[in-house]
Amino acid sequence: MRSLGAIVAVVLMLAISYGVSADGPYNGAGGGGGPTPSILFLDLGELNAAVTAAGYPRISEVLFTMGGSGYGGRSDGVRFGGTGGSGATTSISGERSVRFGFETYGLLIEKAAASNSGLTIVLGAVLGGGSLDLRLIDRFPDSFEDAVGAPYVASMTKGFYALQPYVAFEARPLRWMATRFRVGFLWALTDPWTFEEVEFSGPPRTLTGLVASLTVQFGAHGEDDVDDEDAPPEEGVEDQPVPRSESEEVPEEPPNE
Cis before residue 37, ω within 30 degrees of 0? no
Angle 51-41-204 from CA coordinates, rounded to 5°: 40
Task: Give the number of domains in the chain.
Answer: 1
Classify residue 107: in a domain, yes or no: yes
Query: Is 43 part of any domain?
Result: yes
Contact between residue 129 and residue 4 where contact means Cβ atoms under 8 Å apart: yes
CATH number at 105 reads: 2.40.160.20
Would residue 213 be called left, alpha or beta, if left means φ above 0 and alpha means ψ between -120 and 50 degrees? beta
The residue segments making up the domain with residue 142 are 2-218
Which pLDDT value is given to residue 255?
59
- pLDDT given for residue 48 in this prediction: 97
Residue 233 falls within a domain, yes or no?
A: no
Check residue 93 and give its pLDDT.
92
What does pTM read for this prediction? 0.75
> 79 vs 187, 216, 245, CA distance in Å?
22, 17, 52
Using CB atoms within 10 Å of the CB of residue 186, give its burial: 0 to 12 exposed, 13 to 18 middle, 19+ buried: buried
CB-based contacts of 204, cutoff 8 Å, min separation 6: 43, 44, 46, 47, 190
Residue 192 within a domain: yes
Q: What is the mean pLDDT of each run of 10 residues along the chain (257 residues)?
A: 47 45 48 92 96 95 95 84 96 94 96 76 95 93 83 92 95 84 97 93 96 89 50 51 52 57
